[in-house]
C-alpha cells in the first residue's frame, strides 16, 4: 500500500516536472502548426491524424513520398512526420527532395520508422531528417519531439520574417515608400547591364520639386513630408507598374528609371508628369498645394555601348545636368510670372 | 490550469476515435493472418525458388511490425520483426524453402494472431 502511494506520488511529481519544464507559455499559444504525416499504412495515418488533431495540430496526410511532395508544393506545412519504407519514393528520398525543394521556409522533418540500427539513424539524419524516432517509442515522446520541431520552425519563421523586413527597410525610403539610394545603386547597374546585353533602350528621369524648402518653411515639415509622399503617388500614377520604378535619392530629389524606354518615350513620360503636376495639386493638411517639378531626361540608346560603371555615372550626371537646366528655366518662368 | 501546449504533449484521441482505430487494427491483424497462411502455402510449394516469397514475407512483416508498434501491440511487433529478420537472412543466404528460422517465425506469428481474442490485444 505504501509502495503504491509512493509510486503514485513519484508519477505525479514527474508529470509536474514535465509541465514545469515545458516552455509552452513563452510561445504563441494560438500559432497554427501544420504537420504532414507520410505513411503507406492507412491505419498509422489515421492514428496520427487523430492524435495530432487532439494535440491542436493541423494535419495533412500522404500515403507516398510523391504525394507528400505534391502536398508540400501546394500547402504550407511546418513539420513532416515520415515513415522510411514506402512504395515508390521512400522516406530518405523524400527528405532529400524536401531539402532541395523548400529553400524559402524550413520544414522540420521527423523520421518515424521501425529501422533502429545506428547506421539507419545516421543515414536518416544524413538524408535531411532533423530527428529520428524508432516506432514503438511512447506517443508522449513523439509529441514532445514534434513540439521541438514546432519551436524550431517558429524561431525560423520569426528570423526569416525579420530578415525580410530588414531587407525591405534597407531598400525602401521610410517616408515616401519609394526605393532609396541604396536600391538605385544596386539595381540601376543591373538595368543598364540588361539593356546593353539585349540591346534594349533605358531611360532615366531626374526629378526635383521646385522650391521645396519654401513649402517646409511656410507650412512646416509635416506638410513637407505630405508633399513628398504625394509627389511619389503622382509619379506612380504616371509610370508603368511592375516595370518602371522610382527612387528617392535626396531630400526632394527623385530618379525614375524606365526600362525598355527610348529618349522619345521618356520625353513622353516627362510631359505626362508635368501635365499631371500642373493639373493635380497635392492634398495636405494645409490644403491642396500645387508643386512645380524640374525634370532632366536622359536615355541609353539600344545601339549605345557604354562601359557599365561609367555608363551609370554618365546617365545620372546627364539627367542631373538637364534637371538643373530645367530648374533654371522654371526659375525664369517664375520670375516672369511674378513680374 | 494546464496550457494548451501542455495538453498537446499529453494529448490522447477521443475515446470513440481510438476504439474505432483499435478495432480496425484488430481486423487488419486477422486479414494479415490469412495472408501469412497463404504465403506459407506458397513457400511450401516453391522448392528451390522461394526468394520472391521471402520478399513478400519481408514486406508484409515489416508493415505489420510498423503498425503494431504504433498501436502498442508489442508482442505482435516482436513476432513480426522476428519473421522480417529471418526472411531477410534466408533471402541473403539464398536459403531454400525449408529454412527453419523462417518457418519458426512464420508459425509463431500466425499462432500469435490466431490466439488474439476479438478486441483484446496485449497492450
Interface of A with B in 218-237 (CB under 8 A): none
ipTM of the complex: 0.79
CATH-assigned architecture of domain B14-114: Up-down Bundle (1.20)
A54 neighbourhood in chain B, CB within 8 Å: 11-14
Q: What is the CB neighbour count within 10 angstroms for residue B55?
A: 13
Quick check: helix, strand or coil at residue A38?
A: strand
Cβ–Cβ under 8 Å, residues A181 and A249? yes
Q: Are strands A245-248 and A131-134 parallel, antiparallel or unpaired?
A: unpaired
Q: Provide the CB-side half-sphere exposure for A60 (13 A, CA).
A: 20
The CATH number of the domain covering residues in A31-168: 3.40.50.2300
Partner A, chain B 81-100, Cβ-Cβ below 8 Å: 81
Which region among B2-11, B37-46, B48-57, B109-118 has the lowest average model confidence (pLDDT)?
Answer: B2-11
For residue B15, pLDDT beyond 80: no
Q: Which grid cell sits at B57?
A: 514475407
pTM as predicted: 0.67
Q: Which among A24, A43, A83 has CB closest to B6? A: A24
Contact A55 B8 (CB under 8 A): yes
Residue with cell 497635392: A282
At A206, which helix (H) or strand (E)? strand A202-209
Cβ separation of A140 and B9 shorter than 8 Å?
A: yes
B120: left (phi over 0), alpha (psi -120 to 50) or beta: beta
Of A46, A335, A116, A70, which is closest to residue A211 (Cα–Cα)? A335
User: How far is CA A106 from its chain centroid?
Assistant: 15
Instruction: Say if strands A253-259 and A287-289 run parallel, antiparallel, or are unpaired.
Output: unpaired
Select from B6, B63, B65 the Cβ nearest to the Cβ of A22: B6
Cell of A287: 490644403
**Partner-chain contact B62 A114, CB within 8 Å:** yes
Phi, psi torsion values for A205, nearest 5 degrees: -115, 130
Class of domain A181-338: alpha beta
User: Of the candidates B4, B6, B66, which has its C-beta nearest A41's C-beta?
Assistant: B66
Tell whether the torsion through CA atoms of B20, A142, A123 and A70 is positive or negative. positive
Report yes or no: A151 at the B interface, CB cutoff 8 Å: no
Q: Do B21 and A29 touch (CB under 8 A)?
A: no
List chain A domain ranges: 31-168, 181-338
Select the residue of A25, A40, A53 nearest B3 (Cβ to Cβ).
Answer: A25
Chain A residues with CB under 8 Å of B7 CB are 55-56
CA atoms of B58 and B80, how far apart (whole Å)? 9
Domain coordinates in residue numbering, chain B? 14-114
How many Å apart are CA A50 and CA B14, to the nearest integer? 8
Q: Do B21 and A19 touch (CB under 8 A)?
A: no
Contact A202, A188 (CB under 8 A): no
B2 touches chain A (CB under 8 A): yes
pLDDT computed for residue A307 by the predictor: 46
Q: Do residue B70 and residue A114 have CB atoms under 8 angstroms apart? A: no
CB pairs under 8 A between A and B: 91
Across A56-146, where does the E strand assignment appear? Answer: 58-62, 79-82, 108-113, 131-134
pLDDT of residue A336: 46
Res B119 pLDDT > 60: no
Q: Is A286 exposed, middle or buried (0-12, 13-18, 19+ CB in 10 A)?
A: middle
Determine the 3-state secondary structure of A326 from DSSP: helix
* Chain A touched by B12 (CB under 8 Å): yes
- CB contact under 8 Å between A44 and B7, yes or no, is no
Q: Does B1 touch chain A (CB under 8 A)?
A: no
User: Which of residues 71 through 130 in chain A touch B, CB cutoff 8 A?
Assistant: 83, 85, 113-114
**How would you write the pLDDT of chain A (339 residues) with one tens digit per residue?**
455 555 555 656 666 666 655 555 545 554 689 999 999 999 999 999 999 998 889 999 999 999 999 999 999 999 999 999 998 899 999 999 999 986 778 999 999 999 999 999 999 999 999 999 999 899 899 999 999 999 999 999 899 889 989 998 999 999 999 999 999 999 999 999 898 888 899 999 999 999 899 998 999 999 999 999 999 999 999 999 989 999 999 999 999 999 999 999 999 999 999 999 999 999 999 999 999 999 999 998 766 655 445 577 888 888 888 888 888 887 655 444 433
Q: For residue A27, what is the nearest residue in chain B, using CA coordinates?
A: B5
Amino acid at each position: 500500500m505504501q509502495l503504491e502511494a509512493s509510486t503514485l506520488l513519484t508519477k505525479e511529481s514527474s508529470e509536474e516536472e514535465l509541465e514545469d519544464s515545458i516552455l509552452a507559455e513563452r510561445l504563441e499559444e494560438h500559432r497554427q502548426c501544420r504537420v504532414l504525416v507520410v505513411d503507406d499504412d492507412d491505419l498509422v495515418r489515421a492514428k496520427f491524424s487523430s492524435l495530432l488533431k487532439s494535440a491542436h495540430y493541423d494535419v495533412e496526410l500522404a500515403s507516398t513520398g510523391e504525394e507528400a511532395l505534391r502536398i508540400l508544393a501546394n500547402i504550407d506545412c511546418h513539420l513532416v512526420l515520415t515513415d522510411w519504407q514506402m512504395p515508390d519514393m521512400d522516406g530518405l528520398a523524400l527528405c532529400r527532395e524536401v531539402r532541395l525543394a523548400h529553400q524559402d521556409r524550413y520544414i522540420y522533418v521527423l523520421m518515424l520508422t521501425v529501422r533502429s540500427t545506428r547506421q539507419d539513424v545516421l543515414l536518416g539524419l544524413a538524408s535531411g531528417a532533423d530527428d529520428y524516432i524508432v516506432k514503438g517509442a511512447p506517443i508522449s515522446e513523439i509529441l514532445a519531439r514534434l513540439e521541438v520541431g514546432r519551436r524550431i520552425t517558429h524561431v525560423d519563421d520569426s528570423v526569416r520574417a525579420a530578415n525580410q523586413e530588414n531587407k525591405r527597410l534597407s531598400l525602401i525610403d521610410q517616408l515616401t515608400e519609394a526605393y532609396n539610394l541604396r536600391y538605385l545603386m544596386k539595381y540601376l547597374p543591373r538595368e543598364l547591364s540588361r539593356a546593353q546585353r539585349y540591346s534594349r533602350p533605358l531611360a532615366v528621369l531626374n526629378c526635383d520639386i521646385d522650391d521645396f524648402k519654401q513649402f517646409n518653411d511656410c507650412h512646416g515639415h509635416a506638410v513637407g513630408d505630405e508633399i513628398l509622399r504625394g509627389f511619389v503617388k503622382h509619379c506612380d500614377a504616371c509610370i508603368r507598374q511592375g516595370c518602371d520604378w522610382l527612387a528617392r535619392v535626396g531630400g526632394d530629389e527623385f530618379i525614375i528609371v524606365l526600362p525598355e524606354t527610348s529618349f522619345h518615350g521618356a520625353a513622353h513620360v516627362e510631359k505626362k508628369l508635368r501635365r499631371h503636376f500642373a493639373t493635380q495639386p497635392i492634398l495636405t493638411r494645409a490644403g491642396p498645394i500645387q508643386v512645380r517639378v524640374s525634370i532632366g531626361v536622359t536615355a541609353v540608346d539600344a545601339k549605345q555601348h557604354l562601359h557599365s560603371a561609367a555608363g551609370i555615372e554618365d546617365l545620372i550626371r546627364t539627367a542631373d545636368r538637364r534637371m538643373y537646366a530645367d530648374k533654371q528655366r522654371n526659375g525664369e518662368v517664375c520670375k516672369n510670372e511674378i513680374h | 490550469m494546464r496550457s494548451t501546449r501542455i495538453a498537446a504533449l499529453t494529448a490522447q484521441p477521443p475515446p470513440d476515435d481510438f476504439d474505432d482505430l483499435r478495432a480496425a487494427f484488430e481486423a487488419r491483424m486477422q486479414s494479415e493472418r490469412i495472408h501469412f497462411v497463404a504465403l506459407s502455402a506458397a513457400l511450401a510449394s516453391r522448392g528451390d525458388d522461394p526468394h520472391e516469397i521471402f520478399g513478400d514475407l519481408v514486406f508484409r512483416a515489416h508493415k505489420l511490425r510498423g503498425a503494431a508498434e504504433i498501436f502498442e501491440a508489442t508482442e505482435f511487433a516482436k513476432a513480426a520483426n522476428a519473421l522480417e529478420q529471418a526472411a531477410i537472412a534466408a533471402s541473403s543466404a539464398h536459403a531454400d524453402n525449408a529454412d527453419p528460422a523462417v518457418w519458426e517465425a512464420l508459425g509463431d506469428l500466425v499462432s500469435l494472431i490466431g490466439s488474439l481474442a476479438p478486441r483484446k490485444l496485449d497492450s
